[in-house]
Structures are given as C-alpha cells and as structure tokens.
Amino acid sequence: MSAQPVNPNLPPDHVTIFIDGVELAAPKGSMIIQAADKAGIAIPRFCYHDKLAIAANCRMCLVDTEMGGRSAPKPSPACATPVADGMKVFTRNEKALKAQRNVMEFLLINHPLDCPICDQGGECELQDLSLGYGRSVSRFQERKRTVPDEDIGPLVATEMTRCIQCTRCIRFTAEIAGTYELGGMYRGENLQIGTYDGKPLTTELSGNVVDVCPVGALTNKVFQFRARPWDLQARPSLGWHDAMGSNLFLHVRRGEVLRTVPRDNEAVNECWLSDRDRYSHQGLYAEDRAVKPLRKIDGEWREVSWAEALNAAAEILRANRGDDLGVLAHPATSAEEGGLLATLAEELGSGNIDHRISNRDFSDAAVAEPFAMPLAEIEKADAIVVFGSNIRHELPLLHQRIRKAVRNGAKVHVVNPVDFDFTFSAASKRIVPPSQLAGALGDAALVEAAKGANHAAVIVGAIAENHPQAAQLRKAARDFAAATGAKLCRIPQGANALGLAQIGFLPKGRAVAPQFADPRKAYVIYGIEPGLDFADPAAAMQALGAARVVAFSHYACASTRAVADVILPIGALPEIEGTLVNLDGTVQIALPGGKQPGEARDGWRVLRALGGELGLPAFEFTDLAGARALVGARNGAFAPNASAAPAVETGGLEAVAATGIYRPDATVRRAAALQAHPLNVGPRIVLNPADAQAAGVAAGQVAKVGSAAGTASLPVVVDKAVAQGAAWIEAGHGATAPLGAGRITVVAA
C-alpha cells in the first residue's frame, strides 16, 4: 500500500516537512536549507549561496533529520539533503549543535587570528558564526598552515591563509562570470584556491568574489585598509554608466564614497554588480574635478564667485537666443536636470537640444525605447539574437543573463562585425563588415531559427545604434522582430537615455550632428567631456571651439577648458538626488551619497539660479519638489525632428567603433583601478590578417590611420576575429578620438 501524503491539500509538486516543529510546504526536489530560508529559520552555512550550485563541502549546515519516526544515523547537510514528505528537521537540538560546533572547530584550526587587521572584520560570516558556535580556546596545538598570496589584479586583494575552501569564488567565476579563472590546487590539507595561470582576473564581474567570500580571503583592493564597516553609512543609489540601472549602496564616511556594493533587485541586477559600477567612484576624486566656478578672461581661466559665473553665463545666453543656441546633455543626466535644461532652452526659443551624443544617423528620428522583453525574462528565452553589440562590455550583467539563458538551453545567434569574446557558446555566428549587418540579420536560416522559438529576443547594441547608417540597421531589426515574433530589445545609449526621451529632451530643431555640421553661435553642454564623449569628437571640438560655450561640468578637463567660456561645477549622480529610467522603462531614484567637492552644486539648483538670472518665469520654484513638478508635466511621447542621412562613404576599411568597457564616460575614465584592469586594452586598431597584409602592416607595428574626420597613429593587432574589410577601433580614448566611425585607411607609419 503506497504512503499517503501528510497534507493531501498541498499542490502535487509540494511536500510537507517540519523544521524545529514548524510545519512547512516545500517544493519537491528542493533542499532543507531552501525551505528553512523561506520560513526565516536560520541555519549556519559557508559554502551555500542561493545563486550558485550546491557544493556541500563546508558542512557547517549539518542538521538532524527524522523520517517515519527514525532518526538519521548521522547529521545531514541541509544544503544538499532534499526534502521528503513528513520529514522532521532539527536545527538546534543537541545532535545538530554538536555537529555544527565540531565543524566550526575544524574550520578555525588553520584560520589566522588577524581579525583586528582584516578588512572583512565587522561583516565577516566566519566571525559572526564563530561567536555562536566556536570555542574560546583551540584544542589544537599544531602549527597553523600558511598559503602564499598571488596578485589577481587591481580590484581584488588576496589573503589566502584566511581561506576556508568554501569554493564560492570558484563557482562564481565558473557559473556566473563564465571565465573559469579560479580553482582548487593540490589536495587534502594542502588545498589552495587560486588562478591556474598566475595572471590577473579578466572577468568584468570580478568584484563579486569579494561579496561571496564569507571570510577575509578576498577583499576590495581599492577599499583596503581605508575604513571599518561600522564607520560607514549606506546610501541607496544606482549604476549610471550603462542603461541597466543596477541597484547599489554607496558606503560613505564623512561625505566621501569609499566603496560601492550591490543592492538586491531580482528584476534588475539580482545580487551582482559589474566592476564598472563597483569601482567607478574612484573617478569622483580625480585631480581635475570641477570644484569652483571658472571663467575665461582674456584667454586665462580664473576662479570666480557663483554670482559672477552665473552672470557671465546669462550674458552669453541672452546674446545667443533662438536658433543661434544649441543645448547638449550627456545621456546619463538625471530626469530632473534634463527637464530643466530642456525648459531653459525652450524659454530661450531654441529647439536645438539633444542627448543622443553618441549617435550618428538621425534620419529615422529614432529615440530610446524600453525592452519589449523584460530584463529578468531574458534568461528564460529560448532564442536570442545579439545584433551589433559587444554585449559583454556594453552591459556586463545583461551578458550574464544571456549566459544563464544558454545554460538553461537557449540558442544564441550572433550577428556582429567582430567575433567578440563572450562567455557563452553561440549556436551560430555571422561575422560580417558593418555594411552587411542588415543583410546578415535577414538570413533565411536565422529567421527560421527565431520563428521556431517560443520565447525569442533580438538585442540591438551600440555598434548598430551608433553606426553612420544606423537607420537601416534599426529597420532591419524591426523587420526581423516582425517576421519572427521576437521581442525587440534596443539598448538605450546612456544610463538615462530613455528618461530623457520621455521628458522631451529631443530636438525640435537640429539634432547633435547637424548642430556641428552647421555650427551654432553658442552652446550649453551638460555633463559632457567634449573631447571624448561625442560620436565625432573632432567635429564637436571644432564647432564648440568657434562658439561661446557654457559648460555645466563635473570635471574641469583639458577639452572642456579648450572650448568653454564659463565652467559651472555640478555634482555627479552619486552626490545628488536624481531620477533615471532603465532599459526596462523602470523609474528609479538615486539618493545623494558623497559630498559634492568644493563649491559644486546640484545641477537643478544651478539651472534654477541661471533661470532666475535670466528672468525666466518657469524657474520660480524653490526646491526639488518644485523642479520635479515642472519636469513631471513634460512626461509624454515626443518625436524629434529627423535629419538627413549621413553620406555613405566608400573605399578603405569600415570602422567598427565600440567604446571600451572602461572608457564610456568621464568618471570611469578617471578610476585608476579600472584603467589598470586587463580588459582596458588601450587605443589600438585590430585588423583581419588579410587586411593587415594588404595594408603592409604587421602585429605590434604602429600604423598611420586616416579617415575623413582626422588621423591617428595606433598600434596594430592582427586577429581573425575581425571581419575582413573592417577595422575594430575602441572609442573613448584620446588617441582614437580624431577618427570617427566612417571609412578608414591604414598605412605603415
């Protein structure tokens, strides 16, 4: 006679278990520790992590189990013991506590007594659990073992003598990051965790090993020895270097941001954080940070009062109203700042406003739009097409979700001009020059593969969105989605590109490229480093250099000083309260964390003061709530003016201009640790072997590279991953800025 379920009213895929006398329903196949966590019943653990595969090697979660009135002969690991109907679990009886205390004693045999100097002190899982389960005196007299450290890069510090071999870091790099860079070497008591090749970690998610490490073996190298956890205040904020909008905490002491850690949000970044968002706060404290208002007088920069700076800015704007004025903002600008800046332009009679500073083709009047498939659903897709994107560098955590989808059985198809290094296997690849991307996306086999999927997505990235003929590529992506039923997911080109589009920071007059082709007499630039942030920095610098320029800036950098007449210092996102809209269309608010340096002020305050100086009636509000009310009235659907399509160039090689992973904006470019990361390869040109041979250049040689925009001298890398007829050049570097993204020629220097 078959056994009857304890509770016949449960769903068929659930069983009834009892943990410490509490009756619980748990899914079949789940583990005891998962059921206990859901019920809020604490079970100690070190190796278990709910985002990682089960290892069951620390044994700290041993519990006593009973089935059918019979107790198990030995304690069972709660992380690796499946639930069973009618099972009774005891986490705090004598048998369980004795087992847990014995495991703790073994773990502490070799652990060094260096809590007072350990960066993990105060937030260490081993320290916390040893208080409840450890002995006050060790019974072991043997000499403690030591483990030599290795340098695994500029972001993560190691003290491997503290390691308890929980293997969380190994499982993270293997399962989540996909780089398989850490592993266990030697055996038994000689087991050590480290890299196999002695080289720095190359994953763009390496800082997460600090979070998963339960002891002080892996710590934040940038934060090392700077503060204790109890010295810090946690302020909720957002990642602002890509459109993901990762949720995070800024850890602040006396107004200085000392470190950044993830804030759990399953719909956005889960519990992870990219290195770009984790370490970029270093750039806030660069030497060229704008800390006082500056005015150029007789060709010399002088520090002036806010009153004088605002008066000078107002004088420029009064003299150059209407069509003579262009207003350009960085796409990471908050909605509050962007809305006020658009209002300022409108009050001055100018429709020449834009935030799409990395775009080149405005002929289809395209603006950012939310993903048709929510971010959290992408890992459940069964077919994904990556179109015109180095997705690993562009959105590291979206790349991680695609990898998760592949592990769940999804087929990924790649259409790119370069066979970029992804950490998932592609079912098919079409590596073609940029001019052939649209045709490759329309390939019959690819269309049929997407049609046959139940849950498909096409992800359009920066290489496509910022191409000189981007309108054709966007049309190809829309046609593909319509023909296959795939969800169209165009990556917004900026942390708040979607938010700025929604509040109408879009041209009713000239877009950004036409403003430089037919320069205005005066410009307002907001949060932009003009020498590097624009799609065509050479054209931008030429147009700005001949005009009167008011710069709202985080940095008083060389390129801003070269073109501006007035520099008004403003706070960066980690220092202000602001609203961003991420790629899902989710509205998120960042709260101020760090203190603004010197006399820098919130951008909305500076705009309010400038509007008051100009006597504009819309700027009579007095607080942030008033600014938000003004901006909120702007929300809606806005269609910008279309511009003529750029001329199609011929001859030479097609440039693939993809911004380097640690070069997207001024703050990241000033984060020293990120600039030392192995993925930051520096300015170079990467050619297909056939193209290198035709140009007469070899790997390691410096070549002279020319385009319609300008010339540059760049080291040559030869790689068959680049499509023949194309040349891969990383944007965001001073050395590559003169080239733009058109056709280029390469000759030996």
Read out DSSP for 420-468? ---SS--SEEEE--GGGHHHHHT-HHHHHHHHT-SSEEEEE-HHHHTST
pLDDT digits (tens, 9 = 90+) for 529-542: 999 999 999 999 99
User: Quick check: 395 pLDDT over 80?
Assistant: yes
What is the DSSP track for 507-537?
Answer: -SS--HHHHHHS--SEEEEES--TTTSSSSH
Domain's final residue, options 461, 490, 519: 490
* DSSP code for 160: G
Q: In a 10 Å sphere around its CB, with 0-12 CB exposed, 13-18 middle and 19+ buried, how is residue 688 labelled?
A: buried
CB contact at 8 A, 599 and 306: yes
Q: What is the domain extent for residue 155?
A: 122-129+136-284
For strands 22-27 and 522-526, give the pairing. unpaired
Backbone angles phi, psi at 403, to 5 degrees: -60, -40
Residue 625, in any domain of the structure: yes
Distance CA 422, CA 400 (A): 10
**Are 618 and 667 contained in the same domain?**
no
Residue type, 245: G
CA distance 519 to 22: 73
Q: Which of 352, 269, 331 is nearest to 547 (CA)?
A: 352
Give the CATH number of the domain where residue 168 resides: 3.30.70.20
Nearest CA among 362, 413, 432 for reference residue 656: 432
Please report whether residue 112 resides in a domain: no
Q: Are 685 and 715 in contact (CB under 8 A)?
A: yes
The CATH number covering residue 667 comes to 2.40.40.20
pLDDT tier for residue 4 given thresholds of 50, 70 and 90? low
The answer, yes or no, to whether residue 401 has pLDDT greater than 60, is: yes
In a domain? residue 167: yes
Please give the torsion angle defined by the CA atoms of residues 191, 194, 196 and 197, in that order, rounded to the nearest 10 degrees.
-140
Bridge partner list, 654: 726, 743
Q: Please give the C-alpha separations between residue 303 and each of 158, 207, 566, in angstroms, as whole numbers.
A: 44, 39, 10
What DSSP assignment string belongs to 686-724?
EE-HHHHHHHT--TT-EEEEEESS-EEEEEEEE-TTBPT
Contacts of residue 503, defined as CB under 8 A and 6 or more positions apart, other chains included, come to: 335, 338, 339, 342, 631, 634, 635, 638
What gap in Å lies between CA 384 and CA 364, rounded to an integer?
25
Residues in the chain: 749
* 380 and 358 in a common domain: no
Is residue 289, in this structure, part of any structural domain at all? no
Residue 238 three-state SS = strand
Amino acid at 613: E
Which of 560, 552, 641, 557 lies closest to 600, judged by CA? 552
* Higher-pLDDT residue of 635, 111: 111
pLDDT attached to residue 3? 58
Q: Is the Cβ–Cβ distance between 440 and 726 less than 8 Å?
A: no
- Picking from 284, 306, 338, the residue at the C-terminal end of a domain is 284
Q: Rounded mean pLDDT of 633-640? A: 81
Residues 144 and 274 in one domain: yes
Rounded CA-CA distance 590/138 in Å is 47
- Bridge partners, residue 185, by sequence: 192
**53 and 171, same domain (yes or no):** no
302 and 272 in a common domain: no
Judge if 185 and 257 occupy the same domain: yes
Q: Is residue 370 a contact partner of residue 662, using CB atoms and an 8 Å limit?
A: no
Same domain for 571 and 471: no
Instruction: Please tell me the least confidently modeled range out of 12-16, 258-262, 661-665.
Output: 12-16
Cα Rg of the chain, angstroms: 28
pLDDT of residue 640: 86
| Digit-coded pLDDT (tens) for 555-591 | 999 999 999 999 999 999 999 999 999 999 999 999 9
| Alpha carbon distance 455, 149 (integer Å) | 46
Instruction: Tell me, yes or no, whether 279 and 141 share the same domain.
Output: yes
Report the CATH number that the domain containing residue 350 is assigned in CATH. Answer: 3.40.50.740
Higher per-residue confidence, 565 vs 646: 565
**In terms of domains, do 475 and 523 share one?**
no
Percent of the chain past pLDDT 90, that is, above it, reads 87
165 SS3 class = coil
Using DSSP, state whether 135 is helix, strand or coil. coil
pLDDT tens readout for residues 345-366: 999 999 999 999 999 999 999 9
Kindly state the average pLDDT of the residues 375-397.
Answer: 96
Note whether residue 114 is domain-resident: no
Close Cβ partners of 111 (under 8 Å, ≥ 6 residues apart): 126, 144, 162, 164, 215
Which percentage of the chain shows pLDDT scores above 70?
99
In the block, tokens 């944007």 appear at 731
Report how far residue 127's alpha carbon sits from residue 104's, in angstroms, rounded to the nearest whole number. 11
Residue 716: which pLDDT band, with cuts at 50, 70 and 90?
very high
Angle 287-289-292 from CA coordinates, rounded to 5°: 120
Give the C-alpha distances (Å, rounded to integers) separating 355 from 74, 368, 630: 65, 11, 19
Rounded CA separation 662/313 (Å): 33
The predicted structure's pLDDT at residue 639: 80
Does any domain span residue 116?
no
Q: Which amino acid, one-letter code, is at 181?
A: E
Q: Looking at the structure, do residues 542 and 434 belong to the same domain, yes or no?
A: no
Asked if residue 616 belongs to a domain, the reply is: yes
Return the pLDDT at 312. Answer: 96
Choosing from 448, 473, 490, the residue where a domain stops is 490
Q: Are residues 141 and 254 in the same domain?
A: yes
Does the residue 57 lie in any domain? Answer: yes
- Cα 335 from Cα 121, distance rounded (Å): 39
Q: What is the mean pLDDT of the chain?
A: 94
- The pLDDT assigned to 1 comes to 33
Residue 712 above 70 pLDDT? yes
Contact 459, 391 (CB under 8 A): yes
Any idea which of 121-130, 259-268, 644-653 has the lowest mean pLDDT?
644-653
**pTM attached to this predicted model:** 0.94
- State the residue for tokens 């109890």: 230
Domains identified in the chain, total number: 5
Answer yes or no: is pLDDT of 749 > 70: no
DSSP assignment, residue 611? H
Residues 533 and 601 in one domain: yes
Residue 137, pLDDT above cutoff 90? no
Are the C-beta atoms of 459 and 491 separated by less than 8 Å?
A: yes
Mean pLDDT of the 370-383 span:
96
List pLDDT tens digits, range 213-270: 999 999 999 999 999 999 999 999 999 999 999 999 999 999 999 999 999 999 999 9
Cα separations in angstroms, 578 against 112, 137, 252, 270, 332: 45, 52, 18, 22, 11
User: 188-202, 326-340, 508-522: which range is least confident on average?
Assistant: 188-202
Contacts of 504 (CB under 8 A, 6+ apart): 339, 342, 634, 636, 638
pLDDT for 449: 93
Q: Is the dihedral of CA 428, 432, 434, 439 positive or negative?
A: negative
Q: Is the pLDDT of residue 2 over 60?
A: no
The answer to whether 173 and 180 are in contact (CB under 8 A) is yes
Q: What is 302-319 written as a DSSP string? A: EE--HHHHHHHHHHHHHH
pLDDT higher than 90, residue 646: no
